[in-house]
Amino acid sequence: MPILPIDTGRYGSPEVRHIFEEENRLKCQLDFEAAVAAAQGETKIIPAIASKEIVTATRSGNIKLKRIKELESTTEHDTAAFVEALSEQCSPKAQPWVHYGLTSNDITDTSTSIQMKQVFGIIETKILDLSTILIRRATEFRTLPAVGRTHGQHSSIIAFGLKFAVWAAEMARHIERIEEGKKRFLLCKTLGVVGTGSLMGEKALDVQKKVAELTGLYPVDAATQIVSREGYAEMQFLIALIGSTLDKMAIEIRNLQRTELGEVAEPFKLGQIGSSAVPVKRNPIKSERVSSLAKLLRSLVSVAMENILLWHERDLSNSANERFTLPMASILLDEMLNSMKKVIAELMIDSERILSNLEMTNGQIYAEFILDALIKKGIPRFEAYRNIQRIAFSAQKSREPFVKSLAKDPAIARYLTVEELKDIFNPKNHLSASSNIIDNVEKQIILTKKKFSI
């Protein structure tokens, strides 16, 4: 009976969940053993006839999970059971050369790398898809002035589309981070019990290089019995980092959907229920789910960091938790990407509300531009600053429109005409380089797609 929500299929897409299913794990292990046998045969470490027979056995379809589990019930060692099941499919002459010179973690670590290569292939495509959706929304709202908020306060004016462009740029950078990191964490190891390549002697590195080529991985530079867990920690961190960017997007959507702001709303399909008690509620549940799962992703980074600290050439204190960490993180990140793609693509944006929110402070959002205009008239910055602040605080108290207070104050009126003030209080005059920034991000996404052939 399923226990975890991942087991029920609640989170993640079928293609990513499949990567961590036992059948696919077994296939990765068999692919690894086939690559090792082929490389050892080519380098004459094992007889060529044995090499061919082992490769054939790995591809026969006769090595079943059921048999491996039967053997494991006796050996209490999953890798030993796997090797024995493989050996059973070979002749007595080939059996001595099965798994020759290897240790358990040569299989488990390299198989994990194969699986994570599959994961990143799917994840990178979805990141790029999300980037494309984001830049499309950025372009759609590139000329819509909106409130830019800092510290939760109205600060200045932005193009609403710039929000999406910032996120799109971050997602494109995540692809770069993954691609740059692959050589550090998608590693192949065939160096045996303590990392010396002991039984394969001077040809050990030749075998490892060949296996890496066959599996599409990178040969480890140096290792103990296991691949150093710094690479695992980096993968875990990258997954959490991507998740944190998605969380940042989700938090902004959740905030902008607040009743008091009302600038955006998550898609809400016919028949959907926001609250079991309040019929009118339309809760940002998908964004909240992203934020919730992001917390879990970040917590897994600390586990991966602890796993770096193993005794001597290895111990088993990392083994049990690693059965959870990378599979769980990968599936949850996949879920978060799927959710955010849908949210951004179908996000309802209330342009009228966005424009009306600009006037929430009775025009005080234009203070930055008043200051700039006075500086350009030759007024010392802090003289102008203090006058604007004095007028703004007084207008706020009396609830008088800011432009009216400015126009009648001698400290301002002697430098700025009514027409100049009117021009300053036009929000469309303050989008500055927003369109250029959006264009540059779009070019960056196109370049990323071409550079990494995604």
417 vs 429: CA distance, rounded Å: 17
Residue 110 near residue 217 (C-beta atoms within 8 A): yes
Distances (CA, A) of 316 to 75, 140, 313: 17, 53, 11
Residue ranges in 158-284 assigned as alpha helix (H): 160-185, 204-215, 230-256
Which among 151, 276, 312, 453 is annotated as catalytic? 151
Which one-letter amino acid corresponds to residue 30? L
Whether 174 is catalytic is no
Whether 275 is catalytic is yes
Q: Which helix (H) or strand (E) holds 192?
A: none
End-to-end CA distance of the chain: 38
Residue whose entry in the numeric block shows the structure tokens 């980074």: 301
φ, ψ (nearest 5 deg) of residue 159:
-80, 130
Angle, CA 341 vertex, CA 339 and CA 346 arms, to 5°: 100
Which among 60, 275, 351, 432 is annotated as catalytic? 275
* DSSP codes, 323-372: TTHHHHHHHHHHHHHHHHHHHHHH-EE-HHHHHHHTTTTTTGGGHHHHHH
Which residues does the annotation mark as catalytic?
A: 151, 275
